[in-house]
Structure 1
Amino acid sequence: MFVSFFPLLVAGPIERATHLLPQVENKRKFDYSKAVDGWRQILWGLFKKVVIADNCAEFANIIFNNSGDYSGTTLLLGAILFAFQIYGDFSGYSDIALGTARLLGFELLRNFAFPYFSRDIAEFWRRWHISLSSWFKDYLYIPLGGSKVGTWKKVVNTFIIFLVSGFWHGANSTFLAWGFLNALYIMPLILSNKNRHHVKIVAKGSSWPSLKDFRKILFTFSLTVFAWIFFRAESITHAFRYIKSLFRGLFAISAYEETFNFLLYKVGLALPVLILLFLLVEWQGREHNYAIEKVGIKYPKMLRWSFYYALVIAIFLFTGKEAQFIYFQF
């Protein structure tokens, strides 16, 4: 039962038997409120996957597969689109899995907690693929001694965790480079004991982040986008060639003209608008388990259902070209 539970069978979240099996043994009755909540999370997961991730995938693939033909700003656009692709793809799948399980009366482990609103890399890794991070922590990091060791051993343990995480995604030098780079990112926080500095959600209770928090979010997102280049590249040579071209042509006027034309004539206006609306909804729902768990819950029924129908219509109107779930290959 545990190994064949279909909502998480292929790509997670990585569930613990001690968490799932007691739910199997307990008697379950249909709960209307949980079922509605499950459908709501499935709806948001579908929107993230087929509208955000699949549309971003189409243009990220064009740029990455023909990176030698584009200027620095277009390559930067490709890296950003891939960042939204992989987040929408995997967190969308996780939302669908959690929502489906809830329809059956099961509560699976939360797998994403708005990672792109993180203020440092340590916070990002507490919010990205939570079930995998906690698995590595319990079964690798703590047995190695965790943080209750000397500084040098702590550094070694951290690099082991991230290199193994890279290797888990595939026996390819690009994944190892991605893991190594993230270990470098987090090292200053580990050495200065600031890796638990940002635990609570950003700007809790506020409509907008402070300027300081916004700068931190933007910087952390930039580091993450840069690391994703290695994750997406076909080879380590491709990754370095991509990065070299990105920085070399980043400030040329012609580069901005090319990127503007790419956005206008290939991407169109719909995708940037959808991404912006997606970010706004995610921001407004960041204090909850998923973005639309409570969004509009106090609104009049007509307004709330109009929002749900708008998502359904968007799924039908703006579904991108079918793309396999990225994490199905790992």
Structure 2
Amino acid sequence: MLFNSLDFAVFLPLVFLIYWFVFPKNIKQQNVMLLISSYVFYGWWDWRFLSLILFSTILDYMLGKRMGNSQNESDRKWLLATSVVVNLGFLGFFKYYNFFADSFVQVFTFMGQPIHPRALSIVLPVGISFYTFQTLSYSIDVYKRKLEPARDFISFATFVSFFPQLVAGPIERATHLLPQFYKKRKFDYALAADGSKQMLWGFFKKVVIADNCAEYVNIIFQNYENYSASTLALGAVLFAFQIYGDFSGYSDIAIGLSRLFGFDLMKNFAFPYFSRDIAEFWRRWHISLSTWFRDYLYIPLGGSKGGLGIKIRNTFIIFLVSGFWHGANWTFVIWGALNALYFLPLLLAGKNRNNLNQIAEGRLLPSFKEAGQLLITFSLTCLAWVFFRAESVTMAFDYISSMFSISILSKPQVFPIEIIALVGLFIMIEWLGRESDFAIQSLGIKWRRPFRYGVYYGVFMLIYFAGNFSDEIEFIYFQF
């Protein structure tokens, strides 16, 4: 079920009313209600894959209990290995089988030994990369004794399938989210109001910014051979705002939606396009995934504490794995490698943690130095996004090579002035609200109520009149 669908517009009020008015005081009943609602939400797409998420839930619940009860370190390692192998096995089969099969064909054909492996028509279950990593973090934390194993199956199953963040994150840690299913929850108007504002901003990002940019991005990328360098550059910039509006919009809706039900989810985006270097960008982009790789892969490999070779190796591993996580295509691997190349000089120079505060903190405008750093970082990010958006490596290199020509000085052949104006307005609001959790959280907070609510009404009217409702467009990260 899509957040931006009529089905969800009926689903949400119904679940909200039953949750708070039928089961206001019983945690067990509220959790059962959330579990059923989550399975309906997920099964609306394809009910057959409910068996997959249920199997993963039962497996990790049982293995977690056995790990918690066992004092034998060898047995506990085998239990953890079972969880890791089975979960990654499912992920690998559904997401990467055809990728590896095609890659083997290309390699053996290049060596003069063509092979013909059996191709399978595999449907990628929505959200499998997200809930797999969520359950893996649970198993790892139980093994490390950072977390007591879940004793209540309903609470654990609801944690795994919690519908606001089930299919595109944030990727929650069990240490943060699971205990919230054990605690009594009371309706908090202030929390719900804040969540509603964040949902409103998330929908603005999705249907006004992302979906409108998507139309022109598709036109430019699908016909890139026919366009000038300036048009291709514009296409790359519009895609940067498309993917940011789409993905961070989903996160905003998910976090805000969770607050309506009394839950707190981790922050997933922190205004990444206002970063002064690539290291800062990756602290602000898809925070739940980047910190997951940091804690469960980068640090166990030694992090940045070893010698020069170890630092380089671990940096490339973390970015290559991150790229491969995003999709079964060499374009994502190169996207990850390119970001590693961006990041490596900062790490080796010890400058990867230079910009920990917000840009122009306490000031309206950045300094010339900060503005230059922001522009360079954004340009490098847009360049990398071309690989993310391109359908093949060849297309990505052709697109980029065509972008660096004398026609970069010409007027773009595709120039949607109304979309560019909306993106400009979006940047301005994000800039003004960059020191809050989301852009409109504190916007006009000290104004009189009519003016403050006028802001929210204005955002709503922009969604209504400027939003792209020509079709219920899926979120980009559903494919990951």
Q: Is TM-score (shorter-chain normalized) higher than 0.5?
A: yes
Q: 1:173 aligns with which of 311, 316, 330?
A: 330
Q: Deviation at 1:251?
A: 3.9
Deviations 1:277-303 (A, max 9, x none): 111110111111111110111111111
User: What is the one-letter code of the residue matched to 2:414?
Assistant: F
Whole-angstrom distance in 1 between the partners of 2:308 and 2:434:
34
Paired residue for 1:117?
Answer: 274
Q: 2:454 aligns with which of 281, 284, 306?
A: 306
Whole-angstrom distance in 1 between the partners of 2:374 and 2:408:
23
Paired residue for 1:183?
Answer: 340
Paired residue for 1:211?
Answer: 368
Contact 1:11/1:328 (8 A) holds in 2: yes
Whole-angstrom distance in 2 between the partners of 1:280 and 1:29:
36
Higher relative contact order (CA 8 A, sep 6+): 1
Q: Deviation at 1:262?
A: 2.2
2:391 is aligned with 1:243: no
Deviations 1:88-112 (A, max 9, x none): 0000000000000000010001000
2:464 is aligned with 1:295: no
Q: 2:414 aligns with which of 254, 262, 269?
A: 262
* Secondary structure in 2 matching 1:290: coil
Paired residue for 1:227?
Answer: 384
| Structure 2, gaps ≥5 residues long | 1-157
Paired residue for 2:310?
Answer: 153
Whole-angstrom distance in 1 between the partners of 2:189 and 2:326:
38
Q: 2:419 aligns with which of 271, 278, 289?
A: 271
Q: Deviation at 1:147?
A: 1.3
Paired residue for 2:114?
Answer: none
Q: Deviation at 1:151?
A: 1.3
Q: Deviation at 1:324?
A: 1.5
Whole-angstrom distance in 2 between the partners of 1:23 and 1:178:
36
Deviations 1:32-78 (A, max 9, x none): 00010000000000000000000001000100010011010000000
User: What is the one-letter code of the residue matched to 2:268?
Assistant: N
Whole-angstrom distance in 1 between the partners of 2:467 and 2:442:
25
* Secondary structure in 2 matching 1:3: helix
Whole-angstrom distance in 1 between the partners of 2:397 and 2:408:
19
Alignment of 1:1-330 (within 5 A): 1-251=158-408, 255-256=410-411, 259=412, 261-263=413-415, 267=416, 269-320=417-468, 321-322=470-471, 323-330=473-480
TM-score, normalised with respect to structure 2: 0.66
Whole-angstrom distance in 2 between the partners of 1:250 and 1:73:
6
Whole-angstrom distance in 1 between the partners of 2:302 and 2:258:
35
User: What is the one-letter code of the residue matched to 1:93?
Assistant: Y
Runs (4+) of structure 1 exceeding 3 A deviation are 249-252
Q: Deviation at 1:250?
A: 3.6
Whole-angstrom distance in 2 between the partners of 1:299 and 1:200:
27
Contact 1:73/1:249 (8 A) holds in 2: no
Q: Deviation at 1:21?
A: 1.2
Paired residue for 2:72?
Answer: none
Q: CA RMSD in A?
A: 0.9
Contact 2:228/2:408 (8 A) holds in 1: no
Q: CA 1:251 to 1:10, structure 2 compared with 1: closer, same or farther past 3 Å?
A: closer
User: What is the one-letter code of the residue matched to 1:41?
Assistant: Q
Q: Deviation at 1:249?
A: 4.2
Percent identity over the alignment is 62
Contact 2:165/2:254 (8 A) holds in 1: yes
Q: CA 1:251 to 1:38, structure 2 compared with 1: closer, same or farther past 3 Å?
A: closer
Whole-angstrom distance in 2 between the partners of 1:224 and 1:207:
24
Contact 1:45/1:96 (8 A) holds in 2: yes
Whole-angstrom distance in 2 between the partners of 1:242 and 1:327:
23
Q: Deviation at 1:274?
A: 1.1
Contact 1:166/1:178 (8 A) holds in 2: yes
Deviations 1:244-266 (A, max 9, x none): 111124445xx32xx1x521xxx
Contact 1:13/1:94 (8 A) holds in 2: yes
Whole-angstrom distance in 1 between the partners of 2:385 and 2:235:
11
| Structure 1, gaps ≥5 residues long | none
